[in-house]
Amino acid sequence: DPSLPRFRLADVRKHDANSGSPWVTSGDKVYDITDWVAAHPGGDVILQAAGHSIDPYWAIFTIHKAPHVLQVLESYCIGFVDKADLDDSGKPLAEGGIEDPFATDPKRDERLTVLTQKPCNAEPEAAYLAREFATPNELFYVRNHMWVPVVDVEEAPKHELTVELPDGEVRAYTLEELRTRFKIHHVPAVLQCSGNRRSDMTKSVGPTNGLQWGAGAISNAVWEGVLLKDVLRDAGLRTGDDVGATEDDPPSDSLHVQLTGMEAYAASIPLPVAMDARGDVLLAFGMNGKPLPRDHGYPLRAVVPGYVAARSVKWLSRIVVSDEESASQWQRRDYKLFGPNEGGKPNWDRYPAIQEMPITSAITSVLVGKDVKSCTDKSARAAAGVRDLKDWQDKNWVDSPKGTPVEVAGYAYSGGGREIVRVDVSVDGGRTWDQAELLDSPSRNYDDAEETQKKYVVARGRRDWAWKRWQYKGVLLDKSLDQSLQREQGHEILVKAVDSAYNTQPEHHDGIYNVRGNLATAWHRVRVQTND
């Protein structure tokens, strides 16, 4: 509507985040977003742009480049930028850019392979991945959609978590209150991105959209925090899994717990998951005996064991119990799985969000006797943590009478609390199989734990949320088999795992190929070649 008023940029500036009536510009239009802030799915993050052009932010929040978002914004249009403040091409005069929101991101460990810097997405090199039951904090994979929010150490105890119940009742807790008023639990649990091993799927089948993770978008830690269920109860939640909830109460299955982070990332889990007495869903402030590192959600994050890590919202600031899933892009438009044929424009509403994780396993290191020539596939070599071939060969391998010794190691994990019960390894491309030794078991982790770890026994539910590392010692160029055939075909090392529900992994990625490359869980394969 060209009859709308024109505003000088100096006046727009006055409507900043503190003004109580924030405005933004986009192109040459001026918008009064006061009413939008309350309704904005990303909360007050939008206020960062108040008084200025929103366009540079949208370059970061690419989710906004959707017609329905533009339509919403259009409804708040109040006028245009005054012609005196437009350049020859009709754009508002340059503002000198916005501050780089990533400038305050923390430094990362050099042993992380960085996929993208801004936002930071990084995985530990495979060789470091599963050396310990609990991944050291500085090696834990990082998956950020935006920048890392800044919370000062002095401010952290005052960090506020608001909890909104279905009846609209709101209760706020400071971090200090959570720590002191609720029972503290320690839960060992894996976090795994739905995109873990996506690059395997891409290499074996075809292009997939998304970060091309190796086998390192997974890590395991002992999380310290309070149970989400205890906090929801304290806030006054009386429906959900309560036996005897009145008929007017919605069935618990229809409620969701929406979790929102300070930088606007959001996701949700079904209420029954949050309330499950053995679900161990945590509001965590500690990781492996230390405060959460900034990259992993300082000062507070959700940890939803057994579920896709996308639900373990970091920098947690707001919880809403609602009859709707989170409206976020990450709940409704991203972490889903389509059929191998459903490319192009998939129908997002057709399938549920990924929640409980399926079973997977991976090889993280291969050591072979001195006769090894090379791993034929460079990326497989990287995936196997084999970086310095010379280093391998220099090791004093003793050829066993049976053939060339090989040592393989890795991890196996299943979602939903299903324990890994078996890991099968083949060092001859799947012709013969043998069982790997499982290095972690819940009883061993807890009974033989050091004094500081003993408390995990108390806290842990009856489900196994952690991974199991495994190890296998076998022979390549087995003298009891046809050696020329073995040499000709090289040696493909394979791993697959089995969980307590006897779920196992698909042999190939072809049948589970999906355009987003999610849940790439096929047998993991690494190829090595011998000299003689």
Smallest gap, in angstroms, from Cβ of residue 215 to Mo ion?
Answer: 15
Ranges assigned E (strand) in 281-337: 282-287, 290-291, 301-303, 316-322
Of the residues 31, 57, 128, 335, which is catalytic? 335
> Is 524 known to be catalytic?
no
C-alpha angle with apex 491: 485 to 496, nearest 5 degrees?
A: 125
- Single-letter amino acid, residue 119: P
> Is 502 known to be catalytic?
no
Look-up: residue for tokens 């090595």?
528
Stretch that binds ligand MTE, among 83-91, 176-184, 310-318, 350-358 (CB under 6 A): 310-318
User: Which of 167, 134, 133 lies closest to 439, judged by CA?
Assistant: 133
Distance of CA 28 to the CA centre of its chain: 38
User: Smaller CB distance to ligand MTE: residue 284 or 375?
Assistant: 284
Binding status of residue 311 toward Mo ion by CB under 5 A = no
User: Smaller CB distance to ligand MTE: residue 85 or 200?
Assistant: 200
Stretch that binds ligand MTE, among 26-34, 134-142, 167-175, 225-233 (CB under 6 A): 134-142
Binding status of residue 304 toward Mo ion by CB under 5 A = no
User: Smaller CB distance to Mo ion: residue 240 or 358?
Assistant: 358
- Is the bond preceding residue 119 a cis peptide, omega within 30 degrees? yes
Work out whether strand 404-413 and strand 6-7 pair parallel, antiparallel, or are unpaired.
unpaired
Binding status of residue 285 toward ligand MTE by CB under 6 A = no
Stretch that binds ligand MTE, among 106-114, 140-148, 344-352, 521-529 (CB under 6 A): 140-148
> Is 145 known to be catalytic?
no
423, two tokens = 């890991």
Work out whether strand 491-499 and strand 420-426 pair parallel, antiparallel, or are unpaired.
antiparallel
Of the residues 128, 173, 186, 193, which is catalytic? 193
C-alpha angle with apex 138: 189 to 113, nearest 5 degrees?
A: 100
Binding status of residue 198 toward ligand MTE by CB under 6 A = no
Q: Rounded CA gap, 194 and 506, in Å?
A: 16
Binding status of residue 143 toward Mo ion by CB under 5 A = yes
User: Smaller CB distance to ligand MTE: residue 265 or 472?
Assistant: 265
Contact partner at residue 173 from ligand MTE, Mo ion, none, CB < 5 to 8 Å by partner kind: none
Work out whether strand 77-81 and strand 6-7 pair parallel, antiparallel, or are unpaired.
parallel
- Single-letter amino acid, residue 273: V
Contact partner at residue 268 from ligand MTE, Mo ion, none, CB < 5 to 8 Å by partner kind: none
Binding status of residue 191 toward ligand MTE by CB under 6 A = yes
Of the residues 15, 52, 64, 527, which is catalytic? 64
Binding status of residue 460 toward ligand MTE by CB under 6 A = no
Q: Rounded CA gap, 160 and 175, in Å?
A: 6
286 within 8 A of 225, measured Cβ to Cβ: yes
Of the residues 31, 52, 120, 143, which is catalytic? 143
Binding status of residue 313 toward ligand MTE by CB under 6 A = yes
Binding status of residue 141 toward ligand MTE by CB under 6 A = yes
Determine the number of helices (DSSP H) and then strands (DSSP E) in the chain.
Answer: 15, 26
456 within 8 A of 449, measured Cβ to Cβ: yes
User: Smaller CB distance to ligand MTE: residue 125 or 428?
Assistant: 125
User: Smaller CB distance to ligand MTE: residue 149 or 270?
Assistant: 149
State which of residues 31, 265, 285, 397 lies at the interface with ligand MTE (CB under 6 A): 265
Binding status of residue 145 toward ligand MTE by CB under 6 A = yes
User: Which of 322, 529, 501 lies closest to 421, judged by CA?
Assistant: 501
470 within 8 A of 438, measured Cβ to Cβ: yes
Collapsing DSSP states into helix, strand and coil, what is residue 116?
A: strand
Binding status of residue 137 toward ligand MTE by CB under 6 A = no
User: Which of 190, 135, 470, 202 lies closest to 358, judged by CA?
Assistant: 190
Residues that bind Mo ion in the complex, under the rule CB under 5 A: 143, 193, 310
* Catalytic residue numbers, as ranges: 40, 64, 143, 193, 335
Residues that bind ligand MTE in the complex, under the rule CB under 6 A: 140-145, 191, 193, 261, 263, 265, 295-296, 309-310, 312-315
